[in-house]
Amino acid sequence: MTNQLRTVALLALLSALLITISYWVIGGTSGVIIGIILAAVTNLFSWYQSDKIALAAYRARPVSPQEAPGLYQMVQRLCARANLPMPGIYIVPSQAANAFATGRDPEHAAVAVTEGILNILPEDELEGVIAHELTHVINRDTLTQAVAATIAGAISFLAQIVSYSAWYTPYSRDDRNGPNPIGVLLTVILAPISATIIQLAISRTREFAADAGSARLTNNPRALARALQRLDATARQVPLDANPAFEPLLIMNSLSGQFLSNLFSSHPSTEARIQALLKLEQQLPYQGSEFPVGR
């Protein structure tokens, strides 16, 4: 299935969930109509604004070539190799070590890195991370991830409103057109796991594909393997806080080490990703340095 078909399927699934929640809570035909309208507006809005929402969620700020010349040169070099237009460059004011890409297509893409990742990764490892994010742009994964995260956020917000209003709204068993108390309860329960639904809906193979794309773009899979190992260790100590619905955007699960994150992770395990990169290394004319990868 192509990325475009996966995007449509994911949006349909999320939209159906949004409509179902509206039906449960509001009840009757009016609930379905409101749900359809809300789903349509959210889809349209997130299609064009999801990149801005994702960047705002992590408080990312744009930087100029004068502010970050080394980072700009690295991205320009990789974009030239990949025949990509230059994306917007953003820095997230956090000591957590992470990165993400967003945007509906390569012409409207952005790459964001945290202050923390700039501080801890050497140049070759940072290049591997940037190449990973650019591969997401090439594969248009950024659209799927960002739009899904935006709709998931809308579902969570709706459920949160319901949980607050439930305390003040009287319910009657005879009022068939009114809010359904069982629907309200289910909605409140669904709220904490809505982001997890998104994480599970987004294929883990996207991360493997982006890792492989980075390895080919840099011709240095081992550098990315070392970066992933380093990022995994730091994510356990300094997570990157934001709406959990945006977790699939990141190169590393920022909730690493937590029970629910391990059970419903949006990313393959770091060990599996490293092993895939080391296997790919045998197939490429490796040019990188010979630093070992190991615990």
Q: Is residue 265 part of a domain?
A: no
Q: Report the C-alpha gap between 30 and 14 in whole angstroms.
A: 19
Please count the other Cβ atoms lying within 10 Å of the Cβ belonging to residue 98. Answer: 25
Contacts of the segment 37-42: beta carbons below 8 A, 24+ positions apart: 38/154, 38/158, 39/14, 39/15, 39/151, 40/15, 42/15, 42/18, 42/150, 42/151, 42/154
> How many domains is the chain partitioned into structurally?
1
Rounded to whole angstroms, the Cα distance separating 61 from 33 reads 38
CB 110 within 8 A of CB 247: no
Model pLDDT, residue 212:
94
pLDDT at 186 over 70: no
What's the Cα-to-Cα distance from 182 to each of 21, 23, 29, rounded to whole Å? 11, 11, 17
Query: Does any domain span residue 103?
Result: no
3-class secondary-structure state, position 73: helix
Q: Is the pLDDT of residue 289 over 60?
A: no
Chain centroid to CA 84: 21
Say what percent of the chain tops pLDDT 70. 62
Kindly state whether residue 215 falls inside one of the protein's structural domains: no
Kindly state whether residue 209 falls inside one of the protein's structural domains. Answer: no
Please state, in angstroms and as integers, the Cα–Cα distance from residue 136 to each residue in 39, 238, 256, 259, following that order: 26, 24, 21, 27
Is residue 206 a part of any domain in this protein? no
Rounded to whole angstroms, how far apart are CA atoms 40 and 14?
11
Burial class (CB in 10 A: 0-12, 13-18, 19+), 167: exposed
Position 257 scores a pLDDT of: 45
**Separation of CA 66 from chain center:** 28
Tell me the pLDDT tens digit for each residue of 61-78: 999 999 999 999 999 999
Tell me, yes or no, whether 82 lies in a domain: no
Residue 284 has pLDDT above 50, yes or no: yes
Which of 123, 125, 127, 133 is catalytic? The answer is 133
Please state the rounded mean pLDDT for residues 264-274: 82
How many secondary structure helices (H) and strands (E) does the chain include?
11, 4
d(CA 129, CA 118): 11
Select from 292, 274, 174 the least CA-distant residue to 224: 274
- 151 in a structural domain: yes
Residue 100 within any structural domain of the chain: no
Residue 295's pLDDT band, with cuts at 50, 70 and 90, is very low
Quote the tokens at residue 133.
């994010």
Band of residue 294 on the pLDDT scale cut at 50, 70, 90:
very low
- Residue-wise pLDDT tens digits, 86-95: 999 999 999 9
Full residue range of the structural domain in which residue 148 is found:
3-55+142-201
Strand partners, 114: 92
Mean pLDDT for all residues in the chain: 78
Residue 281 is a catalytic residue: no
